[in-house]
Homo-oligomer: A and B are copies of this chain.
Amino acid sequence: MSASGTNEFSRPSGRAPDQLREVRIERAFTRHAEGSVLISFGDTRVLCTASVENRVPGFLRGKGEGWVTAEYGMLPRATNTRNDREAARGKQGGRTLEIQRLIGRSLRACVDRKMLGERTITLDCDVLQADGGTRTAAITGAYVALVDAVHWMTKRGDIKPKSGRSAIFGAVAAVSVGIYRGVPVLDLDYAEDSDCDTDMNVVMNDGGGFIEVQGTAEGHAFRAEELAAMTSLAARGVTELVGMQREALGR
C-alpha cells in the first residue's frame, strides 16, 4: 500500500504520496468582511469571507440561537476552459449546491450556536483559481475566517464567552485523498483528480474525529483496506493543516 518501494511511481507534481501542496493562508485579504481569508492549496486559490448579520433563517426565529451557513462559487474562468456564470444561467448547479451544503455542515460542527445569539454567519467561498481540491481548501480557509468573525463578535460584546470558552470548539480542516495508479496519495491536484481511481474528501477536527467522509470510486470499486489507508493519510494531512491554521491565527 505504501509507495516507498515503488521505484516507478511518481505523482505529476513530483510530490511524495503523503505530501500536501504548498499551503498559504492570508488573513484580511479584503477589508469589509468580518473575516476574510485567501487560502491557496498550490494553484487552487479560494477567497473565504465570513459575514455576520443580525438575523436567522425562519426555522430558527425566536429560538435564541444562531446559524452558520456557506455559499460557494467559482469565477467563470477559474478553470482551464470557461464555465457559464451561474448567475447568468439563473441557477446554481448541483455540484455547487452539494459543495456549499458540505461546507456549511462541516463548520457548524465546531460552533456553539447558542452562544451566537440570533445571528447568522455566512461563509462565502469563491474560487479565484482552480487546480483540484477547491472544496477542501474552502473548508480549511473558511474555518480561519469564521474564527476571525467570532473574535470580532466577541470584541463587540455580541458573544460573551462562557466560563472562558469560545463559541468555536476545536478546529476543522479538510483534505482530499485518492488512489492514484494504485497508491494512496494526499491532496490531489487537477491532473491527479481527473486520472485517479478513487477520490475522497475528508473533513476532520483537531481531535482526530471525522466530520465528513465522502469517497467515490471513479474507476474500480475500492476495498476496505484502501478506505482505511486513505482515511489514515487524510488524518495526517488534516493534522498538518490544523497546524497551519493555528499559525495563521497567531496562536
Contact = CB atoms under 8 A, between A and B. Distances in A.
Nearest to A228: B228
Contacts of A220: 209
B32 A124 contact: no
A88 B97 CA distance: 9
Nearest to A73: B87
A85 B126 CA distance: 11
A175 interface: no
A78 interface: yes
A85 B204 CA distance: 28
A237 to B, nearest CB: 14
Contacts of A217: 109, 209-212
Contacts of A82: 33, 51, 53, 122, 124
Contacts of A79: 32
A92 interface: yes
A77 B49 contact: yes
A233 to B, nearest CB: 12
Given A77-B124, A224-B231, A224-B235, 8 more contacts: A49-B77, A85-B124, A94-B100, A94-B101, A210-B222, A214-B215, A224-B228, A224-B232
A209 B222 contact: yes
Given A209-B221, A221-B205, A221-B207, A80 B216 contact: no
A210 B221 contact: yes
A221 B109 CA distance: 8
26 contacts: A30-B129, A31-B43, A32-B77, A32-B80, A49-B76, A71-B76, A71-B85, A73-B85, A75-B126, A77-B124, A82-B124, A87-B87, A90-B90, A94-B97, A94-B100, A97-B97, A97-B98, A98-B101, A109-B217, A207-B221, A209-B221, A211-B221, A213-B214, A214-B214, A224-B228, A224-B232
Closest A-B pairs by Cβ, 9 of them? A209-B221, A94-B97, A86-B87, A51-B82, A49-B77, A87-B87, A213-B215, A33-B77, A30-B129
A36 interface: yes
Query: Which of A45, A47, A94, A221 counts the most B-chain CB atoms under 10 A from its CB?
Result: A221
Contact of A227 (B36, B93, B213): B213
Contacts of A71: 76, 85, 88
